[in-house]
Amino acid sequence: MAKRLAESTYLVLVRHAETDWNNEYRFQGHSDTPLNDAGRATIGSVIEAVRPWEPVAIYSSDLLRAREMADEVGRALGMDITASADLRECNYGNWEGMTEEEIRKEYEAELEQWRSDEAGFARGGGESLEEMQTRSWAELESIADAHAGKAAAVFTHSGPIRGAVCRIFGLGIAERYRIQVDNGSLTVLCRTLKGLWRLVLLNQTVHLGLSVSASSPVASMAPDQPRDAER
């Protein structure tokens, strides 16, 4: 665990564990998909990764794949969970449940429209990445305000985590593909007394037994991989 600065506020962001739709490269968004057996098997490791940060509160997206993990961690640490819809993944509307190949066949024009405006276009009639980033960042700021000088654990999705990292470094949300956030990984943010946000850890996966190369913080998406990793 990284050394903690006295009187600073820490947010331990945990991406939900694996689902079947993750493996099938399907857009999940607001769809309430459960963890699969492989995902549930990692919860014990996540508990032990979160514990040293000594969170005084646990927050979670209200979607099952995040809440299921948060509930188990809460039970292990003897804490209740505060669920929030503002910590959800981006809403992909009628794209949800589909692969990129299926979307290309049925919504080719819409897909190309999104390619020309990845930050501002609302895929599938849902919400844009900018909208997702705005609502999730506001919630993270609120959580930090509520637990100033302490640590809170937040179980959420790759979209809000990438959005937070982009926000800290002044990157446009369209640059999120440069940031890898694996299922079950920890990303830790720190807000100092002066209000400066810092990135302490990015995509920590050592508790999952992943190799260094697999948990590299910068992801280079191969041409044949779906570009949207927020599923």
Whole-angstrom distance, CA of residue 82 vs CA of residue 78: 13
Average pLDDT, the chain: 91
pLDDT value for 212? 45
Which residues lie across from 26 on neighbouring strands? 99
Enter the DSSP assignment of 2: P
pTM: 0.90
pLDDT value for 221? 35
Residue of 160, 153, 162 whose CA lies nearest to 88: 160
Whole-angstrom distance, CA of residue 11 vs CA of residue 150: 9
Q: Which of 16, 72, 110, 118 is catalytic?
A: 16
Q: Is 147 a catalytic residue?
A: no
103-153 pLDDT, tens digit per residue, is 999 999 999 999 999 999 999 999 999 999 999 999 999 999 999 999 999
142-155 pLDDT, tens digit per residue, is 999 999 999 999 99
User: How confident is the model over 1-27, as a mean pLDDT?
Assistant: 90
Residue of 174, 182, 160, 152 whose CA lies nearest to 79: 152
183-219 pLDDT, tens digit per residue, is 999 999 999 999 999 999 999 999 999 754 333 333 3
Alpha helices in the chain (DSSP H): 20-23, 37-40, 43-50, 64-77, 100-106, 108-116, 129-146, 158-169
pLDDT value for 2? 61
Contacts of 102 (CB under 8 A, 6+ apart): none
Q: Which of 72, 89, 118, 139 is catalytic?
A: 89
Q: Which two tokens stand for residue 123?
A: 């895929």
How far separated are the first and last CA of the chain, in Å rounded? 28
Architecture of 9-92+129-208 per CATH?
3-Layer(aba) Sandwich (3.40)
In three-state secondary structure terms, 155 is: strand
Backbone angle region of 13, left / alpha / beta, with phi > 0 → left and psi within -120 to 50 → alpha: beta
Task: Calculate what percentage of the chain has a pLDDT beyond 90.
Answer: 86
15-28 pLDDT, tens digit per residue, is 999 999 999 999 99
Cβ atoms within 10 Å, residue 124: 20
Confidence of residue 7 (pLDDT cuts 50, 70, 90): confident
218-228 pLDDT, tens digit per residue, is 333 333 344 44
127 Cα distance to chain centroid = 16
Backbone angle region of 46, left / alpha / beta, with phi > 0 → left and psi within -120 to 50 → alpha: alpha
| Residue 159, CA distances (Å) to 44, 103, 148, 164, 195 in order | 24, 19, 24, 9, 23
Looking at per-residue confidence, does 229 or 218 come out higher?
229
